[in-house]
Amino acid sequence: MSDVKLIKVTVDGEEVEVPLGATALQAAEQAGKEIPRFCYHERLSIAGNCRMCLVEVEKAPKPVASCAFPVMDGMKIITDSPVVRNARRGVMEFLLINHPLDCPICDQGGECDLQDQAMAYGGDHSRYHEHKRSVTDKYLGPLIKTIMTRCIQCTRCVRFATEIAGVPELGAVGRGEALEITTYVEKALSTELSGNLIDICPVGALTSRPYAYMYRPWELAKTDSVDVLDATGTNIRVDSRGPDVIRILPRVHEEVNEEWMADRGRFSFDALKKRRLDRPWVRQDGKLRPVSWPEAFAAIAARLKGVSGDRIGAVAGGLADAESMVALKDLMAALGSANLDCREDGAALDGSERAFYLFNSTIAGIDHADAVLLIGGNPRVEAPVLNARIRRRAMARVPVGVIGAEANLTYPATQLGDGPDALRGVLEGAFGDVLRNAKRPLILLSRAALARPDGAAVLAATWALVRSLDAVTAEWNGFNLLHTQGGQVAALDLGFLPGQGGKDLGAMLGGGVDVLWLLGADGFDASLIAPGTFVIYQGHHGDRAAGRADVILPGATYLEKDGTYVSTEGRVQRGRRAVFPPGEAREDWRILRAASELLGHALPYDDLFAIRARLAEVNPVFSRVDEVPQPAAVSAAPAGEAAATGSAAFAPGITNYWQADVFGRASDVMAECARAQAPSPAMAAE
Amino acid sequence: MTEGPVDHLDPNWRNSEAEPDSFDFDAESEAQIAKILARYPEAKKASGVIPLLYVVQKQMGRQTGSAWVPRIAMDKVGERLGMAPIRVYEVATFYFMFNTKPIGRYHLQVCGTTPCMLRGSDDVLRACKDAGKLKGYGDTSEDGLFTLTEVECLGACVNAPILQVDDDYYEDLDYGRTVELIEALRRGERPAPGSTTGRQTSAPEGGPLTLLDVPMLEERGGN
């Protein structure tokens, strides 16, 4: 940033240095002055229509809107004077003319910008005696509740939908007193980021439908955690009350999610109360029977007696935390088994080098990419927040190419073909020059492209492409694998893959093992498990695999346990327990620790510190929380023959964003979203 | 907006029953569009949204006798200009010159701003109501011929009061001449626009009083 010219500005007598082109509001912020605002949002374009941020500028004839006023060298800004205060009081009085006095029944109450600022600038009574206007509520989908009479027309939502989410569906129609924010044609907003509208709305016009009339914000216990329902590693704050999660909000993390969050992570938590496994079950005479923990462990111990290690296998699901996976891996090692797999989808991941399975350019690095190639997937549904970053680059005229199924990515992209042939020939085409001329090309390989028979070849071909662009250096690694679930990178970091002579998922399912331990593994077709296999299902939802289980061990969801997760860019983050798991359910690594004792192979850790020390012992990355790996030159290449790619087109990985995981499938809210977003003729005609 | 408070927009403002099933530009419109779009660089063709909406409104007037802009036509405009539909709706609803609901064959726009009001716009309004069989502002007559709208200053104050019929200004009106005008429209005639008292442009009533001989002008052979 050395090329940015700094200029001196005086704010309330205090001199600050700001870059040329900064606004008066930014200068005031830098001087530590708080400027009230409604329409201004630092991540959106400047509208300048609420007029709340008025300040005095020396020699200006009247107060100016600081959010849209560029500073000049030597400018003197006064943020607090009788003129400023009066001007803001005037603005506030006008804003309140048509704003209803329904704070007592408004869900925004307690975290409402208008309420807060009315405390500072509002009058004690109204001088307005004419009719207040009222506005019909709009339908924006099952997640957003609208009470449009409360709207102050700041147009933050319009700008968010257009600029960040990339779905220009909201607009301000009409004019003057008749101005309304609407979609005009009533339909659910077609975005996976709609929950953020609730956060950016400064008043109670757009509120959360599932959270409607539940609690006041100050009544909720707040727990900082991370979202694992996609692999972005979104930082979240879980608001809970007693045993219930009430809502989930994003936390600011500039290098990960900025301040946005995807809808599935935000709204699918009602699944915590649906289809839960809340006590152990054992199958007896073909039927599952509720039992106590000791009985369940006894059933496992009885079955395992005399089974040799190579006939035992374990599969970790996509949402598993690192602690439980290391415990399961250690338990399997103690039992003499190397049959481990974390790739429920059968993706041909190569765990031999960390760079082979990470989003190496890092999420923040997307902002520096100067050419983007998306292979075999749709980041919009695989990682909506990450996709918003790619969109920002695309809008800055960075060329984006796509190899795979055509999809609406929310930004312009060049379709280069739909199969591996297009991938291998990409350098010959017109986009080849774009990639070759790019200093920091970003090649994004969706995990779905590896979950096919020629997956290893696709991985090798992509790596070879990145290598041929000379984009694996100590400055920049352009190879990026986009995972879809938050537990997968940790599994790979722990080496939860077939060991020496171990069997992979396919071999284990096909009768390769007699006992199969599933740790929240629901991502494959459970009917493929060979009939004679004894299945232990440890997980939180009675989803696909639990019905096939012989023993069910009720575990905890990511909101109910302290867990370590690694995002797709290799960032180690800690999730924290917000609520307790229901009934008999327990934290997963403790279940495994208890089982190990009864199986005669007691694991050597009894508390969270000890197991986290064990994590760091298995892989030192676990000791570096919230750090991303530095790019490094990698000379190795993934196993797999780049020339062996097939010709089948890449299939879209996630076809139903809302119900793509166990939470989405159990959640009523997500089911409603899936219905509302499905292209049905009845909706279109409405 | 003088008649009572506007509580909120009519919830049926999207006119589902009046909305045509399809809209396509006819040859005349296409010719106009080609001319309009030639004014803007390709990357900035969204600038043509206002003229194109006007083309739509004109075409609807030609085809159906009601010059308005249905939503489906706004979508067509958006398609043509590479704009999101909502961006077109925003423009179309912002300018009240665009009718987002069907109107009568003749759009009677009464100027009620101060100069016209002082010069007798109330009489013009009364004449419109009586002759057009209209209840008041916003009303469309039962025969579908007239829609009455109040407009703000039309910028022809020297010839006040003004009644704008579609695109034409009729000036220097009083009650009687307004009734005559409306009766003529009802018969399908289009009286010549301009002053109804026959005065020359906005010269003083009874003819010009100044600049009666302008030597320079005569030398040049002008009038």
A134 touches B at CB < 8 Å: yes
- Is residue B1 pLDDT above 70, yes or no? no
Per the annotation, does B128 bind a ligand? Answer: no
**Confidence band of B210 (pLDDT split at 50, 70, 90):** confident
3 state DSSP class of A239: strand
Alpha-carbon span A268 to A229, nearest angstrom: 9
Say if CB A628 and CB A571 are below 8 A apart: yes
A129 touches B at CB < 8 Å: no
A175 touches B at CB < 8 Å: yes
pLDDT of residue B207: 77
A-contacting residues in B 114-153 (Cβ below 8 Å): none
Candidates A155, A184, A186, A189: best to mutate against B (most CBs of B within 10 A) is: A184
Candidates A139, A173, A177: best to mutate against B (most CBs of B within 10 A) is: A173
Which member of A134, A168, A180 has the closest CB to residue B87?
A168
Residues in chain A within 8 Å Cβ distance of B95:
175
Burial class, A124, CB count within 10 angstroms (exposed 0-12 / middle 13-18 / buried 19+): exposed
Give A466-510 pLDDT, tens digit per residue. 999 999 999 999 999 999 999 999 999 999 999 999 999 999 998
**Confidence band of A391 (pLDDT split at 50, 70, 90):** very high
ipTM of model:
0.87
Longest CA–CA separation in chain B, Å: 65
Q: What is the DSSP letter of A669?
A: H
- Is residue A386 pLDDT above 80, yes or no? yes
Alpha-carbon span A79 to A77, nearest angstrom: 6
Helix axes B71-81, B49-64, angle to 10 degrees: 140
Average pLDDT of chain A is 93
pTM of model > 0.90: yes
User: What DSSP letter does each residue of A324-351 carry, written as one string?
Assistant: HHHHHHHHHHHHT--EEE--TT-----T
Domain boundaries along the sequence of chain B: 27-94, 106-195
Phi, psi of A413, deg, nearest 5: -145, 150
Give B176-204 pLDDT, tens digit per residue. 999 999 999 999 999 999 999 988 888 88
Q: Do residue A171 and residue B14 have CB atoms under 8 angstroms apart?
A: no
Task: List CB contacts of B185: < 8 A, sequence separation 6 or more.
Answer: B106, B145, B146, B165, B191
pLDDT of residue A2: 56
- Is residue A686 pLDDT above 50, yes or no? no
- Is residue A1 pLDDT above 50, yes or no? no
3 state DSSP class of A623: helix
Say if CB A388 and CB A461 are below 8 A apart: no
Task: List CB contacts of B204: < 8 A, sequence separation 6 or more.
Answer: none
Say if CB A582 and CB A276 are below 8 A apart: yes
Q: Which of A634, A494, A486 lies closest to A571, judged by CA? A: A486
Alpha-carbon span B201 to B169, nearest angstrom: 12
Residues in chain A: 686
Token look-up 């999207």 returns: B14
Q: How large is the average pLDDT for residues A198-222?
A: 95
Q: Give the chain A residue nearest B74 (alpha carbons).
A: A184
Residues in chain B: 223
Q: Do residue B86 and residue A175 have CB atoms under 8 angstroms apart?
A: no
The tally of CA atoms less than 13 A away on the side-chain side of residue A472 is 18
A171 touches B at CB < 8 Å: yes
Alpha-carbon span A65 to A67, nearest angstrom: 6
Burial class, A279, CB count within 10 angstroms (exposed 0-12 / middle 13-18 / buried 19+): middle
B220 touches A at CB < 8 Å: no
Rounded CA Rg of chain A: 27
Q: Do residue A135 and residue B9 have CB atoms under 8 angstroms apart?
A: yes
Phi, psi of B51, deg, nearest 5: -55, -40
Amino acid at A607: D
Q: Which of A461, A498, A452, A374 lies closest to A637, judged by CA? A: A461
Which fold is adopted by the domain B106-195? Glutaredoxin (3.40.30)
- Is residue A57 pLDDT above 50, yes or no? yes
Token look-up 């001196």 returns: A8
Token look-up 């301040």 returns: A259
Omega cis (within 30) before B115: no
Phi, psi of B28, deg, nearest 5: -60, -45
Give B48-95 pLDDT, tens digit per residue. 999 999 999 999 999 999 999 999 999 999 999 999 999 999 999 999
CATH number for B27-94: choose from 1.10.287, 1.20.120, 1.10.10, 1.10.3470.
Answer: 1.10.10
Say if CB A447 and CB A630 are below 8 A apart: no
Q: Give how far B59 is from chain A: nearest CA, Å.
A: 23
Per the annotation, does B153 bind a ligand? Answer: yes
Alpha-carbon span A487 to A322, nearest angstrom: 7
Phi, psi of A276, deg, nearest 5: -85, 150
Amino acid at A378: N
Which member of B5, B9, B14 has the closest CB to residue A180?
B9
Candidates B17, B77, B88, B90: best to mutate against A (most CBs of A within 10 A) is: B90
Burial class, A130, CB count within 10 angstroms (exposed 0-12 / middle 13-18 / buried 19+): exposed
Q: Do residue B94 and residue A174 have CB atoms under 8 angstroms apart?
A: yes
B106-111 and A414-417 strand pairing: unpaired
Residues in chain B within 8 Å Cβ distance of A170:
86
Q: How many CB pairs under 8 A join A and B?
A: 53
Alpha-carbon span A271 to A285, nearest angstrom: 30
* Structure-derived torsion over alpha carbons of residues A662, A666, A670, A675, reported in degrees to the nearest 10: 110
Structural domains present in chain A: 6-97 (3.10.20.740), 103-112+120-273 (3.30.70.20), 281-345+488-521+529-546+559-623 (3.40.50.740), 354-482+644-670 (3.40.228.10)
Give A103-142 pLDDT, tens digit per residue. 999 999 999 999 999 999 998 888 999 988 999 999 999 9
Give A65-88 pLDDT, tens digit per residue. 999 999 999 999 999 999 999 999
pLDDT of residue B2: 38
Q: Which of A193, A202, A205 lies closest to A266, judged by CA? A: A193
pLDDT of residue A335: 95
Burial class, A187, CB count within 10 angstroms (exposed 0-12 / middle 13-18 / buried 19+): middle
Q: Give the chain A residue nearest B4 (alpha carbons).
A: A131
Q: Give how far A175 is from chain B: nearest CA, Å.
A: 5
User: What DSSP letter does each residue of A166-190 carry, written as one string?
Assistant: --TT-EEES-GGG-EEE-SS-----
Alpha-carbon span A256 to A566, nearest angstrom: 12
Q: How large is the average pLDDT for residues A533-558?
A: 94
Q: Give the chain A residue nearest B11 (alpha carbons).
A: A136
Q: How large is the average pLDDT for residues A418-445?
A: 93
A534-539 and A551-554 strand pairing: parallel
